[in-house]
Chain A
Amino acid sequence: MTLALRDAPAAEANPFRGSQDGNSHKVDACSIVIFGASGDLTKRKLLPALYNLSLDGFLPSPTSIVGVARKPLPDDDFRAQMKEGIQQFSRRRPANEAAWNELASRLHYISADFSDAGSYEKLRADLESVEKRNGTPPNRLFYLAIPPEFIAVAISNLTKSGLLARSNGNWSRVIVEKPFGIDLESARQLNRQLQQYATEKQIYRIDHYLGKETVQNLLVFRFANGIFEPIWNQKYVDHVQITVAETVGVEGRAGYFDKAGVTRDIIQNHVLQLLSLVAMEPPVAFDADAVRDEKVKVLRSLRPIRESEVQILTSRAQYAGGASGGKTVPGYLQEPGIPPESTTETYAAIHCAVDNWRWSGVPFFLRSGKRLARRATEIAIQFKAPPHLLFRGPAQARMEPNVLTLRIQPDEGISIKFTSKVPGPAPVLQPVRMDFLYGTSFGVEPPEAYERLLLDAAAGDSTLFTRADEVEAAWSFITPILDTWKSLGIADLDTYGSGTWGPRSADDLIARSGRAWRRV
């Protein structure tokens, strides 16, 4: 055929890489080194994700996976533990024996104390030996699934031992788990420490929400369709609600959660990330910096909430005892491990304003809580009513605003609510909902968020990871609220019944603007 063709991509170092197969993803073979390999995250999320990537052929064969933890453990015992994790938590189970055996042959365990500088020499030697054995080039992806207080010391030691050095076209990257600080000052300090030992391009701050299919689809939905962007602004949007609701309580995380609270745990990172994706301007390109530049602009446009406004524009509460999921559950202060005088919020709602041209006058209502009525994470964009109401009779009383809902979990999908005429002679109107659900439209299970993010990090694509300035901009908005709450003590701390949709003060917060929370 002699046909007009789009030209091939620019010449690559490896001319055999790259294809038009939408399922292929360019990843260099590397060593994925997991610090904190004995922890829950490794067993529940990371290894199942790596197994699925391997099963789908996304991990180049000579990739090595190395677990690092303090406790000495033979490779085979580590493999057995990880296989158990896959059998229990993988989205595809039971494990395919051939695929598992192949992955297991490249799965190793190294005992090292990540807080001890001396351990890193041994780690380096052991890692080099694993790489040599498996034919893995010295590309390294370190996943720090360790307590936040050890992050800086681990990166410092990785650098000092030369493990983060790059040479001869090989790379070293490090994935850092949240929390990225507990307030603005600690976040800045952590960023300074990280950047002292690694470049920003080597640091991948992971927020697993960004790996979810619907979150990624948000960008596609907005910027690959021509019909939504023209109405995605203050002229047509009445307000935006972002909800992250959980039915569970603290569930064995009492120690961590009571120090953090739902605002640090969920709103500062997940919810503000969702807000920035909803509100951002179109990036100049779909690459890491262009996307993150636009996101950080949104975070910087958030109108600061002054101390005097905190009780009007925010709500915080703790759950009381009640019934959740048909079971009687204790109140937050009665949960094991929670001090009876704790003022930590298990629910928070914030009325935000994005001060820019696009969103001027459009309130963004954020809420997140534990022990709520349903588990649901979604973004709802409520549009303004038509400028002239043609249908005004009593039979048209059910005319409701258009709502576009992007559901992130469960049942990832998108729905649009619009008004329709009920069949019959009279002009009776009724809201109807049109749904697009990933699960019932595409029979294949979308990959887990960690699969996508691990693959992206190995491919050097940091679009779905949080940059230092994003973290700091988010903390700049949240820290003054937290400080005011702290100074207020229990003065504004509300309660809500377990299994409900949150406290009265949150209903009041949104009612003050003449709006109401959606029933999710």
Chain B
Amino acid sequence: MSVDTEIPANARFGSGATLEITQIERELQRLWKDAAENSTKSGGGPVVRACSMSLVAPCSNDLQFEHVATVVEQTALRQPCRAILVKIDLDNKKEEIDATVSTVCALGGPDQKRVCHEQIQIFAAAGSVKSIAPSVLALLVPDVPAYVWAPCEKLLATPILPELSLSADAILLDSHRYSEPFRALERANAIASAHPANRALENLNNAAGSSGGFGVLDLEWVRLQTYFDATATLFEQQGARAMIHDLRTLRIEFAAREVTAAINNTADAKNAARTTSRDWITPALYAGWFASRLGWTLGGERAMTSPGLAELQFEGAGGRRVTLVPRIANDRAGAILNIEFSSSVGRARIARAPGAETGDLSVEVSRLSGPANISYRFQTLDDAEALSRALTRAPRDIYYERAMPISMAFAPK
């Protein structure tokens, strides 16, 4: 994708502690008109305005803000949206808020068609945080869903995210990118539980279910989809399906890099787990998914069976358990490397070498003559792809919500 036209407004729309919402709307209309005229003059064809959602992304530092702006631009190419980027200067206690607007047009797809989206950037000092949510609410596009993406972990601990979430359909997290992912998920889940839309559903005692409500979407969960598919494929191999309801243990080996020393330091294993919280979230999400898909229920607390290993026991005959094992490897921290499934009739395995895109799915069932082995290509999604895919999901994902209690049980104590 290349951005070929960006028409920023020269004007700014702050007035002390408030934003001039009407002027922002008016400026956006003018920008669309300019974009259309410029495009026609340059023979580029008409500019079409389409919008399927509002995407709100609050941030608290320059570096993150730049990254977020880039990801949003790429995502808007797939999901036509009004992007509202909010940069909050947490160190500035003044009551100041300002905004700029722009229409960003990019050439996308093999035909290099112009796809435009409108972007509003709000800059707020910590002293005017209370003005952010009402301003964003006034700027949301009517009648289409609104999503709040929380790329900056720091803001999860502030009231701004719950406030922004009040008028949204879902909050998007990227747990893998947070230093305290379990805590972040806990906060996001709390926001969802307290959200009026979900409380209303609860009050209705809507046992039959409704697709409505406010949800939590984790980009890391979206990235894990390829492992979910690999697991499904594995259990479609000859003999493997018979193992499913007899599965007893699951062992997930994942990559650890920066925390190598801490993990291997047997004397400080408990501390090691705490410091590597970020690395544990991916295998924990997978473990939650796996166990909840089989209907396993927790039978005990997280335990460190040996230094660096985390294990959960589940109810049921035969001692069902899931173990997460970090391994020093040159791969993304937390990336899943090997998953071993064992039952009384055989074993199955998903194996991927560190850094490799492809891996092997293998099954060894005692009554079969030999092991079955197939190769599998794992999909890697960049941030924009993961965000875009998350935005195509229903705000509430029942599989995610069912997995959550198990995944959260792996949180380092």
Which A residues are within 8 Å of any B CB, using their own CB? 1-8, 13-17, 19-24, 28-29, 54, 56-57, 60-62, 91-92, 98-99, 102, 105, 134-137, 435-437, 439-445
Contacts and interface: CB of A to CB of B under 8 A. Distances in A.
Contact of B398 (A8, A56, A436, A440): A8
Given A4-B205, A137-B237, A444 B48 contact: no
B108 interface: yes
A445 B109 contact: yes
B77 A4 contact: no
24 contacts: A2-B193, A4-B213, A14-B232, A14-B241, A14-B244, A15-B294, A16-B228, A20-B393, A20-B399, A20-B400, A21-B392, A21-B393, A22-B392, A57-B226, A61-B375, A98-B357, A98-B377, A439-B115, A441-B115, A442-B50, A442-B78, A442-B115, A443-B77, A444-B78
Contacts of B404: 1
A1 B357 CA distance: 35
A3 B80 contact: no
Interface stretch (B196-204, B250-258, B317-325): B196-204
Interface of B: 1, 46-48, 50, 52, 76-80, 106, 108-111, 113-116, 189, 192-193, 198, 201-202, 204-211, 213, 222, 225-226, 228-233, 235-238, 241, 244, 290, 293-294, 357-358, 361, 372-377, 379, 389, 392-394, 396-402, 404
B373 A7 contact: no
B336 to A, nearest CB: 15
Contacts of A28: 236
Contacts of A437: 48, 113
Given A4-B209, A4-B213, A24 B192 contact: no
A514 B80 CA distance: 41
Contacts of A29: 233, 236
Nearest to A135: B374
Given A1-B189, A4-B209, A61 B374 contact: yes
Contacts of B209: 4-7
Nearest to B379: A57
A16 B204 contact: no
B212 to A, nearest CB: 9
Interface of B, secondary structure class, is mixed
A442 B115 CA distance: 7
Contacts of A134: 374
Nearest to A20: B397
B373 A135 contact: yes
Contacts of B109: 439, 443-445
B373 A3 contact: no
A445 B232 CA distance: 28
A62 B110 contact: no
Among A135, A136, A435, max chain B CB count under 10 A is at: A135
Given A439-B113, A440-B115, A19 B193 contact: no
A1 B398 CA distance: 11
A105 B225 CA distance: 24
B206 A4 contact: yes
A102 B396 contact: no
Nearest to A101: B358
Contact of B201 (A3, A20, A91): A3
B48 A1 contact: no
Contacts of A15: 244, 293-294
A15 B295 CA distance: 10
- What 6 pairs across the A-B complex have the smallest Cβ distances? A443-B108, A6-B209, A443-B77, A135-B374, A441-B50, A61-B376
A442 B388 CA distance: 11
B398 A435 contact: no
Contacts of A444: 77-78, 108-109
A445 B111 contact: yes
B372 A135 contact: yes
A90 B290 CA distance: 36
B389 A135 contact: no
Contacts of B46: 435, 440
Contacts of A105: 375
Which of A16, A91, A437 is most buried by chain B, counting CB atoms within 10 A of its CB? A16
Contacts of B235: 14, 16
B238 A22 contact: no
Contacts of A20: 393-394, 397-400
A93 B115 CA distance: 21
A99 to B, nearest CB: 7
B233 A61 contact: yes
Given A14-B232, A29-B233, A98-B357, A21 B389 contact: yes
Nearest to B390: A21
Nearest to B377: A102
Contact of B232 (A7, A17, A98, A435): A17
Contacts of A17: 232
Contacts of B108: 443-444
A1 B237 contact: no
Nearest to A56: B379
A440 B113 contact: yes
Contacts of A137: 236-238
A99 B377 contact: yes
Contacts of A136: 374
A414 to B, nearest CB: 11
A445 B110 contact: yes
Nearest to A7: B209
Contacts of B206: 4
B141 to A, nearest CB: 14
Contacts of B204: 4
